[in-house]
């Protein structure tokens, strides 16, 4: 994973993001890591419905399971 100082990242941000490798990029301030940047491999539209058929809902998802009286 490549490491870069925050000031240098700020200066070259767009070109660094264009050349981002799957290993990612660690941004540091005063030698300490403050952020890690990884490329996104899937576009958000591809994520919609990706879990269909993999989950099962049991019970009432709109209930806390506790009985209570709102007027008391």
Q: How far apart are CA 51 and CA 42, in angstroms?
A: 14
Give the pLDDT confidence score for residue 35 in this predicted structure.
95
What order of strands is seen across the sheet that includes strand 2-5?
Answer: 2-5, 25-29, 32-37
Tens-of-pLDDT digits for all 72 residues of the chain? 899 999 999 999 999 999 988 889 999 999 999 999 998 875 667 778 888 899 888 888 888 878 888 776
5: left (phi over 0), alpha (psi -120 to 50) or beta: beta
Give the pLDDT confidence score for residue 68 in this predicted structure.
80
Q: How far apart are CA 46 and CA 57, in angstroms?
A: 23
Give the pLDDT confidence score for residue 43 in this predicted structure.
67
Neighbouring-strand partners of residue 35: 27
């Amino acid at each position: 994973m490549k490491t870069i100082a925050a000031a240098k990242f700020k200066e070259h941000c767009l070109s660094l993001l264009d050349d981002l490798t799957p290993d990612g990029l660690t941004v540091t301030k005063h030698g300490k890591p403050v952020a890690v940047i990884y490329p996104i491999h899937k576009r958000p539209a591809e994520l919609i419905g990706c879990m269909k058929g993999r989950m099962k809902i049991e019970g009432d998802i709109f209930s806390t399971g506790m009985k209570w009286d709102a007027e008391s």
